[in-house]
Amino acid sequence: MTQQTQRETEDYDLIIVGSGSGNSLITDAWDERRVAIVDGGVFGGTCLNVGCIPTKMYVYPSATALHGLELDRLGVGMERTGVSWPAIRDRVFGRIDAISQGGLEYREGLENVDVYTEYARLVEPHVLETASGARLRGEQIVFASGSRSVVPEIPGADLPGVHTSDTVMRLEELPRDVVILGGGFIAAEFAGIFTGLGSRVIQANRSERVLREHDAEIAERYVREAGRQWDLRLNTEIARIERDGERLAVTLSGEDGEETVGADVVLVATGRRSNVDLLGAEEAGLDVVDGVLAVDEHQRVLSGGEPVPGLWGLGDVSSTTQLKHLANAQARTVSHNLLHPDELAATDERYVPHAVFTTPQIAAVGQTQEQAEEAAAREGYEVAVKVQDYGDVAYGWAMEDKQGLVKLIARRDTGELLGAHIIGTEASNLIQPLIQAMSFGLPAHRMARGQYWIHPALAEVVENALLGLEVPGN
């Protein structure tokens, strides 16, 4: 304490807490001003180090292997003759760790930027104290401190062999048996990854419903497809985890009582919470709503519902939707607003899409059918819904596809697209023109007939879904 009071407060024009999307705020425009970036974790944040990027670098080889194994239906027999987990892991982290380290060194090399590789907490709305006691005052402070995994209180959850997504990608060897707890994004992606690489996977989902924010029809199709590939157990929890020699004994509790299974690895994927608590935001008088730092559409931090001058929030710390492209969009808003206080920009969050890179892929934007029907009943219009199977378009015949579907939801009176939901091969790419149409207000019939669709590309499944909607012009 004495030591802390003796230290002088450093003054900055801009302090950024969190080096994920927050790192992008340090542009040339700040060259003549003093900037501090503070991060107590690995430089570059979640997406780069333990999130989007490494997971997809595992998804690609795994999904490619799975794809090969399913070619029997097309008259081509393939075998998975060997999987080198260490080779995949070293390829992934050989690239990523170097980017993180390079990013840190670059920032440290900038004359106007100080990097603090430690955690920090607010002591006053404009003053932070780092773990080692340094005091930093910022005329502007941006909170971009992300989220962290939540691990429920399960007996044995602290045993070696029990992982979250933060650690499971660094395993020494490919596990033979994996138990995954959860039915969200991370569980779905890792169930696909491990299955494709040859592990035996049990995915335990607490309730009947997986991927709960998805359209019900997509979630049902996922259950069918996941169930074909790995052991997906609904209404099942982990009661306890015990050591069993070198392995783990995992007791699952489901509708038929308890069963103990052997596992090398347990992956807990039960959600992530905002790091707002680590900032001491509430104690400093800032609003915390739904567990996240409250911000307005300009990303200004709120206190008592009013914006606090010079304080900004972006990404997972201040958003209940935890997606990198959203964090990046919010960072662009903050970047503009820091420099143009008289012409504040707002983040457009009308159509924030997402994709789950499981097998098959899932992608969605806008309202589910249930949400659209509720809104229509409330506001007095009708919705049109079309479900188009991949298997009914030419490229789907080539693929002999029995998995994929595109579901579109539109206003019956205007053709305005309200929601798009895809499960199947390349869902994350097929959805992009639909995101574009929704973002720029292109109605269904105009989108279908106002352009050529390459024949016989898989994208025809989107064209046919558009043409199948009962909307003006069709």
Ligand X SMILES: NC(=O)c1ccc[n+]([C@@H]2O[C@H](COP(=O)([O-])OP(=O)(O)OC[C@H]3O[C@@H](n4cnc5c(N)ncnc54)[C@H](O)[C@@H]3O)[C@@H](O)[C@H]2O)c1
Residue with structure tokens 């996922």? 222
Residue closest to 15 by CA, chosen among 405, 310, 412 = 310
Report the nearest approach of ligand X to the CB of residue 335 (Å): 22
Of 126, 336, 340, 455, the active-site residue reads: 455
Q: Out of 61, 146, 156, 183, point to the residue binding ligand X (CB under 6 A).
A: 183
Exposed e or buried b per residue across 407-426, where buried means at least 16 C-beta atoms within 10 angstroms of its C-beta: bbbbbbeebbbbbbbbbbbb
Report the nearest approach of ligand X to the CB of residue 461 (Å): 21
Report the nearest approach of ligand X to the CB of residue 43 (Å): 20
Considering beta carbons, is residue 148 or 176 the nearer one to ligand X?
148
Task: Note if 455 is an active site residue.
Answer: yes
For residues 338 and 203, what is the distance between their CA atoms, to the nearest angstrom?
A: 45
Q: Out of 119, 143, 185, 390, point to the residue binding ligand X (CB under 6 A).
A: 185
DSSP 3-state of 98 = helix
Q: Which helix (H) or strand (E) holds 370?
A: helix 369-379
Report the nearest approach of ligand X to the CB of residue 316 (Å): 8
Considering beta carbons, is residue 189 or 225 the nearer one to ligand FAD?
189
Residue 269 binds which of ligand X, ligand FAD, none (CB < 5-8 A, kind-dependent): ligand X
353 binds ligand X (CB under 6 A): no
Residue 206 binds which of ligand X, ligand FAD, none (CB < 5-8 A, kind-dependent): ligand X
188 is in an annotated binding site: yes
**Residues that contact ligand FAD, how many (by CB under 6 A):** 35
Query: Is the torsion defined by CA of 303, 305, 306, 308 positive or negative?
Result: positive
The number of residues in the chain equals: 474
Residue with structure tokens 């009962």? 470
Residue 163 binds which of ligand X, ligand FAD, none (CB < 5-8 A, kind-dependent): none
- The angle, 0 to 180 degrees and rounded to 10, between the axes of the packed helices 52-69 and 85-109 is 160
316 binds ligand FAD (CB under 6 A): yes
Residue closest to 416 by CA, chosen among 395, 439, 399, 432 = 439
Q: Out of 14, 16, 20, 418, point to the residue binding ligand FAD (CB under 6 A).
A: 20
270 binds ligand X (CB under 6 A): yes
Residue closest to 430 by CA, chosen among 450, 400, 460, 391 = 460
Q: Out of 355, 399, 437, 462, point to the residue binding ligand X (CB under 6 A).
A: 355
Q: Residue 376, exposed/middle/buried by CB under 10 A (0-12, 13-18, 19+)?
A: middle
354 binds ligand X (CB under 6 A): yes
For residues 88 and 96, what is the distance between their CA atoms, to the nearest angstrom?
A: 12
Residue type at 282 in one-letter notation:
E
Considering beta carbons, is residue 425 or 464 the nearer one to ligand FAD?
425
- Record the tokens describing residue 370, joined without a space: 């249930």
**Residues that contact ligand X, how many (by CB under 6 A):** 22
Binding to ligand FAD (CB under 6 A): which residues in 122-151?
144-146
Which one of 12-20, 155-163, 408-416, 438-446 is the stretch in contact with ligand FAD (CB under 6 A)?
12-20
Q: Out of 141, 327, 384, 385, point to the residue binding ligand FAD (CB under 6 A).
A: 327
Residue with structure tokens 């659209």? 372
Q: Report phi then psi at 437, rounded to 5.
A: -60, -45
Considering beta carbons, is residue 193 or 383 the nearer one to ligand FAD?
193
Report the nearest approach of ligand FAD to the CB of residue 312 (Å): 12
On whether the CB atoms of residues 351 and 365 are closer than 8 A, the answer is: yes
Residue closest to 279 by CA, chosen among 40, 115, 51, 48 = 40
Neighbours of 241 (CB within 10 A): 24
Residue type at 388 in one-letter notation:
Q
55 binds ligand FAD (CB under 6 A): yes
On whether the CB atoms of residues 163 and 194 are closer than 8 A, the answer is: no
114 binds ligand FAD (CB under 6 A): no
Which one of 12-20, 334-342, 349-357, 446-454 is the stretch in contact with ligand X (CB under 6 A)?
349-357
Considering beta carbons, is residue 184 or 443 the nearer one to ligand X?
184
Question: Which DSSP string do the residues of 156-198 spell out, in sequence order?
Answer: TTTSTTEE-HHHHTT-SS--SEEEEE-SSHHHHHHHHHHHHHT
Annotated binding site, which residues?
Answer: 56, 182-189, 271, 316
Annotated binding site for FAD, which residues?
Answer: 56, 316
- Which residues are known catalytic residues? 455
Annotated binding site for NAD(+), which residues?
Answer: 182-189, 271
Under the rule (CB under 6 A), what is the footprint of ligand X? 152, 181-187, 189, 205-206, 237, 269-272, 322-323, 354-357
Under the rule (CB under 6 A), what is the footprint of ligand FAD? 17-22, 38-41, 45-47, 50-52, 55, 119-120, 144-146, 165, 186, 275, 278-279, 315-317, 322-325, 327
